[in-house]
Structure 1
């Protein structure tokens, strides 16, 4: 009986993790890109582009940019993204924030503290707007790749040698981590914080919908340093997709408001970023402690933080203030 219960719990955890992966890729509109990058050759054989299609002026124009059938890609990307994101996010919301609301001390990073209905509506609308932007961009890039557009991703592990393949893993991770930290910290500059990033910090108790609920400029910037990689840096498609899903997964966990332990020793728990929303100008990293450790911007018990305390290092704590 004990083994059965343990197996059931492990299967539920695995299912939950898979659900978070789906939710994360849908939230950023990149699910279609993942499919296209993984199965590009197969899909191109399955849905070949006919040269006879380029007969009308608008098709000729799209063909010049390798964007045949672009409207279909965009419509498909948007519809499926919204279906997956709203479906998964609302099921998550129902299971935790509605069904177990009276037991928040068991699962919530900030027990008994919830967003106001007004802020909940705001994060859903803003997050959906950014998901729409991401879905359209994903549809355009996917269409370009499917029509034979240039990409630096390669598919054979030994194409560039085993050493290159192995070194590309930490290099790509550091590329993501460094960009995420410095761009995030840039938006905590007093001027940019008040004009742009404060929108995201409106959600003091973040939920899954908060993941993409930010100023569209900020959303676009964070997506750009990921989207540029397949067109500039030679990278194995498996490395690119795996790390992309990895950072998306933890981005969703970090904003869930739900207590989640890290799977890896360098990875902070969900409390780390939840504390960023609670304390404001501290804990800027997403996928590891590395950059915060290097810049001394980790949350410390002997410091106090607040929306008016910029710089990432807080100020000496006053007795009873935390």
Structure 2
């Protein structure tokens, strides 16, 4: 009986933890409002307008319309205020609880949960990641506020709600297609930022967090933040995708991205997906550094295809670019 109760409590704790991270992930990117709008769009403004109907509506508008009406941004100030204020409350509130539970309350038990149990961010870097992450969260909330306002006022999107519109085959095929689209661009954009000039001038901002935490997830150069946001946000404007595919996939990717940077040692949920220590090692400093290797997030696939998975017979460092590392001296001599 005791064992059963313990298992139930553990299951509940894990469920609460996952939901908390989901909320923190969407808050960190300021897109909670956008997802709510997508979920309840039909109830709020009715079916999505087609391109033709949107064009017809535009021709009937009066010449004296305001700038905001012309761009379907009526009540923009209300949307932006709601998006930014609630995002800050969620990001600071949930993120603070997350940090308190692990990094303060269980700091002395770091060996039980932390990827790097003997190392923590310096107070300076803790402050830096919090401020930079908050700034990017403000940026993300602002962008999402604009997009949500546009949609609420009848702006066109390709997101659809009825499976029958495109059939079950399209619906089912879009699930792995969208997941691989995200994984592909995440890998190539991440690897792109490890080109020497981009790394030194942009991506190194993110790599100053050698022992990343959940706040590190969005603590990066604003240009890089917008780059990663762009290929996720633009999908419902050019690629027909069902809301039940788009939102859960985005949430899962956000969740896993948060766990990758959390510093918490967690196993992968799926065989093709790396454990959290895979990316934690990517940030790690010391005698062993893996900065320019292991670029993937949601699968091993593209690292495997491009031979950028870390190898035991290679040495890696912050000044060794290219993703291939350098051959160990002992290996060279023996050959």
Q: Shared topology, TM-score over 0.5?
A: yes
Distance (whole Å) between structure 2 residues aligned to residue 204 and residue 236 of structure 1? 38
Q: Which residue of structure 1 lines up, in the alignment, with residue 99 of structure 2?
A: 93
Q: Is the 8 A contact 1:188 1:310 kept in 2?
A: yes
Q: Which residue of structure 2 lines up, in the alignment, with residue 223 of structure 1?
A: 229
Q: Which residue of structure 2 lines up, in the alignment, with residue 211 of structure 1?
A: 217
The correspondence of residues 122-271 of structure 1 with structure 2, limited to 5 A, is 122-271=128-277
Q: Report SS of the residue matched to 2:155.
A: coil
Range with bigger deviation, 295-304 or 136-145: 295-304
Q: Report SS of the residue matched to 1:158.
A: helix
Instruction: Report the Cα offset of residue 189 of structure 1.
Output: 0.2
The answer as to 2:11 corresponding to 1:5 is no
The answer as to 2:310 corresponding to 1:305 is no
The answer as to 2:114 corresponding to 1:108 is yes
The correspondence of residues 274-313 of structure 1 with structure 2, limited to 5 A, is 274-278=280-284, 279-313=290-324
Instruction: Report the Cα offset of residue 43 of structure 1.
Output: 2.6
Distance (whole Å) between structure 1 residues aligned to residue 104 and residue 217 of structure 2? 19
Distance (whole Å) between structure 2 residues aligned to residue 68 and residue 130 of structure 1? 25
Q: Report SS of the residue matched to 2:254.
A: helix
Q: Report SS of the residue matched to 1:4.
A: helix
Instruction: Report the Cα offset of residue 253 of structure 1.
Output: 0.2
Q: Report SS of the residue matched to 1:12.
A: helix
Q: Report SS of the residue matched to 2:250.
A: helix
List alignment gaps of at least 5 residues for structure 1: 46-53
Q: Is the 8 A contact 1:69 1:143 kept in 2?
A: yes
Q: Deviations over 1:243-298 (max 9, x none)?
A: 10011000000000011111111111100110111121011011111111111111
Q: Which residue of structure 1 lines up, in the alignment, with residue 124 of structure 2?
A: 118
Q: Deviations over 1:70-114 (max 9, x none)?
A: 010001000111111111111111111111111211111011101
Dislocated runs of 4+, deviation >3 Å: none
Distance (whole Å) between structure 1 residues aligned to residue 306 and residue 237 of structure 2? 31
Distance (whole Å) between structure 2 residues aligned to residue 79 and residue 300 of structure 1? 46
Instruction: Report the Cα offset of residue 173 of structure 1.
Output: 1.0
What is the total number of aligned residue pairs between the two structures?
309
Instruction: Report the Cα offset of residue 318 of structure 1.
Output: 5.9
The answer as to 2:321 corresponding to 1:315 is no
Q: Is the 8 A contact 1:304 1:318 kept in 2?
A: no
Distance (whole Å) between structure 2 residues aligned to residue 105 and residue 317 of structure 1? 31
Q: Deviations over 1:191-211 (max 9, x none)?
A: 110011000000011001100
Instruction: Report the Cα offset of residue 317 of structure 1.
Output: 3.6
List alignment gaps of at least 5 residues for structure 2: 47-60, 285-289, 331-335
CA-based RMSD: 1.5
Q: Deviations over 1:114-171 (max 9, x none)?
A: 1111111111111111100000000000011111100000001121011111111111
Q: Is the 8 A contact 1:250 1:287 kept in 2?
A: yes
